[in-house]
Amino acid sequence: MCVKVLSLHVSMKKQILYTVLFLLSVHGLIAQQLDGSSLMGLRVYDIQQQTVVFEQNAGLSLVPASTQKLITAATALETFGPDYRFETRLYKVGEVRDGILYGDLWIVAGGDPSLGSRHFAQERMAFLRDWVASVLAAGIRQVNGGIRVDVSRFDDQVVSPYWTWEDLGNYYAAGVSALSVFDNSMELTLSSGIVGSEVRIDRVWPPHHGASFDNRLVAKSHQRDSAYLYGIPFSGQRLLRGSIPAHRSTFVVKGDLPDPTQTLILNFRDALHRAGVQTKAWMLPEAGKRIDRFEMQAGAQWLHTTSSPPLRELLRILLWNSDNVYAETILRQLAYYAGSYPATSKDGLDYMRRFWQSRGLDLSGCFWVDGSGLSPLNRMTARGLSEILVYMQSKAVDTNALRLLLPVAGKEGTVRQLLKNEQADVVYRLKSGSMNGVLCYAGYREKEGRIQALVVLANDVETASAELKKVMENVLRSH
């Protein structure tokens, strides 16, 4: 096993101490508690000293899981800036006479993942009220045409072909398009009786979710959520399998929205009707088909713009909640920025690689197939991810932006259960990544005004999760 420990311009005694701690905590703990087939890549870099503290298997290509989101977030910060906002615009096309719009209402999608998002809006339909108010302000009391949607900014391959079948249909693997709404997910409110009985579906939100359910859920004596949905985008059929705890009057699980565009159109129509704006019946767009592109023309008039929160807030959700919809949406926004139309995931990945290579980073051994890390086919090296973290803390436009967006271990986000009761003068800001057989952490360690970039990627792990967490905590503390 190759271990590299470099001088930090400290005494030889301290160098020896670093080495001893590292060997004991990493070699000993991993050898004793991880299966012999497990692989781990580590790198710790002191940013002030511009020195590698230690590295082990730092050039090994490993599955990064959701630590992949750090690359997407870092690229977006450098490309757009932390204050950038994405927009969804509403237009009317046609003449208004006697309160009747002889034409259409157009929604021009700008790739905002936060429209009606549970992460930002207490009242998730509030944006629709703003749209309706703008229609009323334009003197429209009846729409003689329809609601049309331009979603041409992104391509129509809404889920990655590299994601696994068992993920599709679940909320965390929801499809991504230029028009996202309600996090592209639906919430099922369930109730259960005695052990072994069928679980009931009492409510599904949002309205017009477009799904029908083959419900095979059963009640069991455990206390965890073991319910899974299976299905593909644009098909409303969803299979529910697994179980939820018995004797629950309310239990909520989430799945993907089969077709967010149609869900939005129908909910906007309902909001117009409630406000007294009459609409003629019109055909909904065929599922999965892009609508024709909006172009300004005679009779076209802007009505309203809904802006996303600043990019920094979107990235905070991406990093704290490990939100795949946000990650994949921002990946396509990077492709659009680079001139891809319609923007594709592949073009976004090509842009990210070019971006970091142009800054002199070593990406050998790094192969990316999505922006979220949901695919088990992604590969990253501890060295490559470390170099991106170091760049963001030393050469970025805002050298604190990425670090301060990461959740604090022991307190926040997906790492709130990690490194609890840590010393008060030590702060770990980390992104976690996990899937079957994979556990990774990457981010920064702050102590006494000094900052280190940390990357730990563990693959092919069979150790029980509680034991593995202890191992990883000792690895993170070992330097």
pLDDT confidence bin for 425, thresholds 50/70/90: confident
Ramachandran angles phi, psi of 360, nearest 5°: 80, 15
Q: Is 350 exposed, middle or buried (0-12, 13-18, 19+ CB in 10 A)?
A: middle
Q: What is the DSSP letter of 62?
A: B
Q: What is the pLDDT of residue 281?
A: 66
Residue-wise pLDDT for 311-329, tens only, equals 999 999 999 999 999 999 9
At 149-163, the pLDDT tens digits run 999 999 999 999 999
Mean pLDDT for the stretch of residues 328-348: 97
Q: What is the pLDDT of residue 292?
A: 74
pTM confidence score: 0.90
Measure the CA dihedral 167/264/238/113, to 10°: 10
Per-residue pLDDT reduced to its tens digit, 6-41: 433 444 444 434 433 444 444 444 444 455 678 899
Rounded Cα distance, 242 and 220, in Å: 9
Q: What is the CATH number of domain 3-81+312-477?
A: 3.40.710.10
Mean pLDDT calculated for residue range 199-213: 96
| Mean per-residue pLDDT over the chain, rounded | 89
- Which whole number is the average pLDDT over 449-472? 80
Query: Minimal CA–CA distance to 66: which of 341, 306, 413, 363?
Result: 413
- The residue ranges of DSSP E strands in 237-379, in sequence order, are 237-245, 251-256, 278-279, 300-307
**472: confidence class by pLDDT, cuts 50, 70, 90:** confident
Residue 128: its H or E element: helix 126-137
Write out the residue limits of the CATH 3.40.710.10 domain(s) in the chain.
3-81+312-477
For 389-415, the pLDDT digits (tens) are 999 999 999 999 999 999 999 999 999
Share of residues in the chain with pLDDT > 70 (%):
88
With beta carbons less than 8 A apart as the criterion, state whether 143 and 104 touch: yes
Q: Tell me how far CA of residue 278 lies from CA of 262, 274, 281, in angstroms.
A: 19, 9, 10
pLDDT for 72-116, tens place per residue?
A: 999 999 999 999 999 999 999 999 999 999 999 999 999 999 999
